[in-house]
Structure 1
Amino acid sequence: MATPPPPPHPHATGPYAAGPAGPCVPQPYGAYGSHPQPGRYGCSLCGAWPAAPATVRGHQGLIVLMRFLSARGPFCRDCGLATYRRMSSDTLWQGWWSPLSLVATPVTLLMNLGPRAAFRRLAPPSGGFRPALDPGKPLWCRAPALLVLTPLALLALAVPALLLLGLVVGDDGPRPLQSGQCVRNDGDWSDQELVVTDCSSPRAEYKVSRPTAATGGTCAPGDYVARPEYSPDLTLNCLTPLR
């Protein structure tokens, strides 16, 4: 009658188990179906852990049609960032080519910020059955993003630049006249354009004066009256012809 084999040693469990020859021999990882967190799955692309469940979205505008794209799974940090950057980069140059896509594209890009934040919180991937994807360049350093962001940045800078230019250059309105100055009128009397001119210049046409008590507070006969914008203090300016 054959003698039954001896039972295994009570402490010979786990990755090291007593083999037929007696010494403890290391068993390959996964021999017992173990996982860093039992009952949960690793990255759907490389099998690495840790992984976060997420849906990365993309959008394409097709003149009169649209396509809504998505990639679902759990993703490790590197595969998730690679998927987010690829689909968002494609959306930046493919997503504007239909009327409704002008709204759908920004919404899609904003929705991808949630998965991006989840991927960035993960630890580096490990234990996968294949290497994780290379995340590549950040989204804002890629050509499609630069093509979109450059005109937007120029537009955003143009508004304050125009305001600053207006403050520096100032108002191009009429300058106040002072009594004793000589001017010429480069416009007509319905739309005066009075320019201060040297009184010795042959181009000088009128001399600026103020009404006096002798004239009853009005301009003398034959004088012209400057428009109110040439006198911010609302004082009447008379223009006496020089010839």
Structure 2
Amino acid sequence: MATPPPQHGAGPYPPYTAQQGAPYAVPQQPPAPYGPYQGAPGPYPAPTGYGCRLCGAQPAAAATVRGHQGLIVLMRFLSLQGPFCRDCGLATYRRMSGDTLWQGWWGPLSFFITPVTLLVNLGPRASFRRLAPPTGGFRPAMDPGKPLWRRPAALLFLVPVALFLLAVPTLILIGLAAGDDKPVTLRTGQCVRNEGDWNDQKLLVTDCGSPNAEYRVHSYPCDEGFIADLKYSADGSHHSCLTPLR
């Protein structure tokens, strides 16, 4: 009895399929199962981003803190790029902004660049303050220290600014309270000098023995000399005569 020929695919071996250009059949291999590197869940958690550049802790915000130095003629633009955790970011912001407050004004252009730099740093500061406390670093996070407005550099800047802002309304109030100088009331026999012109007189009573005395006051009508404005009379309705002393 003849033995039937073997059938492809029978037995423990995988089936063969012919490939174009191959002199013999090549066995088909079953697809490899997906492992942790192909997206299947594995024993290790997926990375959550970079840690702080200064301490390695997370969470961290990608931000750039800037500073400025005015050197009379020259200037320097400083920057430190993150990511930073909350504490290291605030410490960096306060240090660089504090240095800018007393180093950034010394130059014509720096006087305008410094406030812009301080305002730009408010963006990174807000990002750092929104972060959770740092954890998992390879070293302790930096100490943020005192708030910026409580540091000597900030006080050195804020005190003159506050004095200037207070001086302006104070001078305005003093001027309003003082008002115009009230004209003196002239009496016969007094000596005066005129610090204005005769269309806009400004008569001041002066000691007759002083070299600054120019005129002696006489009652009206005048034989010679000048006539004082009515504002220098007691009731505002009588003239006085001013006779030159020399």
On whether the aligned pair clears a TM of 0.5, the verdict is yes
Q: Indicate the RMSD between aligned Cα atoms, in angstroms.
A: 3.2
The answer to whether residue 221 in structure 2 is matched with residue 226 in structure 1 is no
Task: After TM superposition, list the pairs within 5 Å mapping 1:77-156 onto structure 2.
Answer: 77-156=86-165
Displacement after TM superposition at 1:79 (Å): 0.7
Distance 2:134 2:59 in 1: 6
Distance 1:104 1:95 in 2: 8
- SS state at 2:82 partner: strand
Task: After TM superposition, list the pairs within 5 Å mapping 1:57-68 onto structure 2.
Answer: 57-68=66-77
Distance 1:49 1:76 in 2: 6
Aligned to 1:187: 193
Aligned to 1:174: 183
8 Å contact kept, 1:186–1:192 = no
2:56 to 47, 51, 55: 47
Provide Cα deviations, 1:164-214, integer angstroms capped at 9, x if missing partner: 111222321426x6xxx846452249445266xxxxxxxx9556xxxxxxx
Q: Any unmatched runs of 5+ in structure 2?
A: 1-42, 206-215
- SS state at 2:193 partner: coil
Q: Percent same amino acid at aligned positions?
A: 62
- SS state at 1:52 partner: coil
Distance 1:65 1:56 in 2: 21
Amino acid at match of 1:237: H
Residue 42 to residue 227, structure 1, CA distance change in 2 (3 Å): same
Distance 2:110 2:44 in 1: 47
Distance 1:50 1:34 in 2: 16
Residue 186 to residue 87, structure 1, CA distance change in 2 (3 Å): same
Amino acid at match of 1:193: L
Residue 205 to residue 63, structure 1, CA distance change in 2 (3 Å): closer
- SS state at 2:62 partner: strand
Provide Cα deviations, 1:34-81, integer angstroms capped at 9, x if missing partner: 47xx44222222222222111100112233322111111121111111
Residue 194 to residue 130, structure 1, CA distance change in 2 (3 Å): closer
TM-score (norm 2): 0.63
Residue 131 to residue 99, structure 1, CA distance change in 2 (3 Å): same
Distance 2:91 2:67 in 1: 13
Distance 1:93 1:83 in 2: 16
8 Å contact kept, 2:222–2:241 = no
- SS state at 2:131 partner: coil
Distance 1:193 1:182 in 2: 12
- SS state at 2:79 partner: strand
Aligned to 2:238: 237
TM-score (norm 1): 0.63
Distance 2:231 2:45 in 1: 88
Aligned length: 184
Q: Any unmatched runs of 5+ in structure 1?
A: 1-31, 196-203, 208-218
Distance 1:130 1:55 in 2: 21
Max Rg structure: 2
Residue 91 to residue 194, structure 1, CA distance change in 2 (3 Å): closer
Aligned to 2:170: 161
